[in-house]
Structure 1
Amino acid sequence: MRQGPIPGVRGRVRPLRLLGDPVLHAPCAEVTDFGQQLAALVEDLFATMYAANGVGLAANQTGEPVRVFVYDCPDDEDVQHRGHVVNPRLVERGGMVLRGPEGCLSLPGLEAGTERYDEAVVEGFTVTGERVRVRGTGFFARCLQHECDHLDGGVYSDRLTGWRRRRLLRRAARAPWSGGTPG
């Protein structure tokens, strides 16, 4: 059972940026102002993530090119993890490398087998500037790595090679949300 207020209830749902949008392919800027604007952005990110039925969302997926992401994601033991990280740094990856299905709110309706480590640690800050360290295993580790990739200007399709990449990009080009040119 979740404790405390559910984030995002005061946020507004923002439009999602889709594969091919330049904001998804450029590294995001560090957050320097830990004020009310940042708190409102985090609320909006939660509201947008929940509206899209996601488990994680990076700020640049809503057009804000700053280093912030939110998550509400289970690990492989069905323990739910919910929070946010400002100026995150992926400081540890380990365990086994597993290929598992991965999707993205910026590539709606598509997924592909993507290799990720099954353990990850991210360090950063809260909206109030307090240090935070988030450790994830299994699916939650995948989520942490995925969101950090976004803030570095990458999407999961960038990690694919060969036929997996070609197939995903063909499907993206034919998707109803696509302009016909894969990113």
Structure 2
Amino acid sequence: MPTTLAQVPKQKLKNPPLKVYKLGDRVLRQPAKRVNKINDEIRQLAVEMLQTMYSNDGIGLAAPQVGVNKQVIVIDIELKDETKPPLVLINPEIKSMGGEIVVGEEGCLSIPEVFLDVQRPDEVTVVYRDEEGRPQKLVTNGLLARVIQHEMDHLNGVMFVDRVQNATALTKELTKHGFSVKDVESVKE
């Protein structure tokens, strides 16, 4: 019997099931493909993504970050609360963004130890399929809205450092942690 998402413990594993690719790996720049069929293989991918995310102290992970070119995202901003299930978004689409443009610090499992400010809208409406294939709609704000936008960027081959406006801070942080500024592909809004 496969593990269900609700059964995935929110704990670190010594050997997480999936490798997280780092800034500079081309796999992170490929646009992800839509999932045609939501089946046990996709559900198992979501389980392994959650296990990998928890093992790396993350709150969000997109399939391209683990080398899988599919539109699958897992999110859990309630890491300490075992009763709150994680979110699994399959083929997500942002329908609208709103609220204020807010600056917030972001990090990424694909760029460990680098944290920089990014501007994003505070509210988002997203439609997606859950792990059972059911259509869902989520209207949210704050941290969850930011995480959804961050992970959706991954599905389009965009990384948060591409949105950082402070070039000096960006260069300093990336260099300090052994990453190359040449791997940043700036997004102009």
The alpha-carbon deviation at position 137 of structure 1 amounts to 1.0
Q: Which residue of 1 aligns with 2:93?
A: 89
Amino-acid identity (%): 29
- Identify the match of residue 165 of structure 1 among 157, 167, 171: 167
- Identify the match of residue 44 of structure 2 among 33, 40, 43: 40
Q: Which residue of 2 aligns with 1:53?
A: 57
Gaps of 5+ in 2: 79-83, 185-189
- Render the CA deviation track for 1:64-107: whole Å, top value 9, x for unaligned: 01100000015xxxxx6721110000111100001111111111
Inter-partner Cα distance in structure 1 for 2:29 and 2:172: 19
1:5 pairs with 2:9: no
Inter-partner Cα distance in structure 1 for 2:70 and 2:22: 17
Partners of 2:63 and 2:69 within 8 A in 1:
yes
Letter in 1 for 2:40: Q
Q: Which residue of 1 aligns with 2:177?
A: 175
Partners of 1:19 and 1:107 within 8 A in 2:
yes
Partners of 2:6 and 2:86 within 8 A in 1:
no
Partners of 2:89 and 2:128 within 8 A in 1:
yes
| TM-score when normalising by structure 2 | 0.82
Inter-partner Cα distance in structure 2 for 1:87 and 1:31: 6
Inter-partner Cα distance in structure 1 for 2:43 and 2:120: 30
Distance 1:81 1:100, change over 3 A: farther
Tell me the SS of whatever aligns to 2:103: strand
Letter in 2 for 1:171: E
| TM-score when normalising by structure 1 | 0.84
- Identify the match of residue 71 of structure 2 among 67, 72, 75: 67
CA RMSD, Structure 1 to Structure 2 (Å): 2.2
Distance 1:89 1:167, change over 3 A: same
Tell me the SS of whatever aligns to 1:5: helix
Partners of 2:38 and 2:131 within 8 A in 1:
yes
Letter in 1 for 2:156: D
Q: Which residue of 1 aligns with 2:138?
A: 134
1:102 pairs with 2:103: no
Q: Which residue of 1 aligns with 2:187?
A: none
Gaps of 5+ in 1: 75-79
The alpha-carbon deviation at position 128 of structure 1 amounts to 2.1
The alpha-carbon deviation at position 26 of structure 1 amounts to 1.7
Q: Which residue of 2 aligns with 1:27?
A: 31
Partners of 1:174 and 1:180 within 8 A in 2:
no
1:125 pairs with 2:126: no
Partners of 1:8 and 1:45 within 8 A in 2:
no
